[in-house]
Amino acid sequence: MSTNMRILIPREKIADGVARIGREITRDFAGQSVTLVGVLKGACLFLSDLARQIELDATFDFIAVRSYGTKKESAGEVQLIKDVTTPLEGKNVILVEDILDTGLTFSFLQKLLMARKPRTLKFAALLDKPSRRQMPVQADYIGFQIEDEFVVGYGLDYAERFRNLPDICVFSEDP
């Protein structure tokens, strides 16, 4: 079996997309503070770059979920494995995700976080695969819409590997 990597979104283009989302958030929350909640582990690179493009008073928190399934497909069962450690009541919360795929993770987290009574809850996803959606959800801030291809790099993994690649690449295996 051989594996193929093809660059889909090079690092310079990722940086442009992240900077644009940073400007949108800075504009939308002018004069207010925001709490960025990153979904581990995939969103950690996006969150760290995005945070530096937001010119507002900002705090961070992290949440972790597990979705059972194969290496490339989530099985539809989302489980919380690490909760945030700060109260979200009354805060402008921005949930930060690497990719919006079926929407199952976001639907699960939206319900969980809304129960904490934030002032607002917005959703930032670096990547969006609209053709894969199973739940009627959309992101408030999107970096790039992509086709139904499995991608790795810039935080995204295949069986925990390739998160450290600086570019977003399409990963495929030939039998």
Distance CA 86, CA 43 (A): 18
Closer to ligand IMP by CB, 47 or 156: give it. 156
Q: Which of 16, 49, 61, 101 is catalytic?
A: 101
Considering only 17, 22, 38, 42, the residue that binds ligand IMP (CB under 6 A) is 42
Contacts of residue 174, Cβ cutoff 8 Å, sequence gap at least 6:
1, 2, 3, 4
DSSP letter for each residue of 141-173: EEEEE--S--EEBTTB-BTTBSTT-SSEEEEEE
61 catalytic per annotation: no
Closer to ligand IMP by CB, 103 or 118: give it. 103
Say whether residue 151 binds ligand IMP (CB under 6 A).
yes
Say whether residue 103 binds ligand IMP (CB under 6 A).
yes
Residues 48-77 that bind ligand IMP (CB under 6 A): 67, 74
CA dihedral for 149, 144, 76, 97, sign (positive or negative): positive
Written as six digits, the tokens of 102 are 């079926």
Catalytic residues: 101
Residues at the contact surface with ligand IMP, assessed by CB under 6 A: 42, 67, 74, 97-106, 150-152, 156
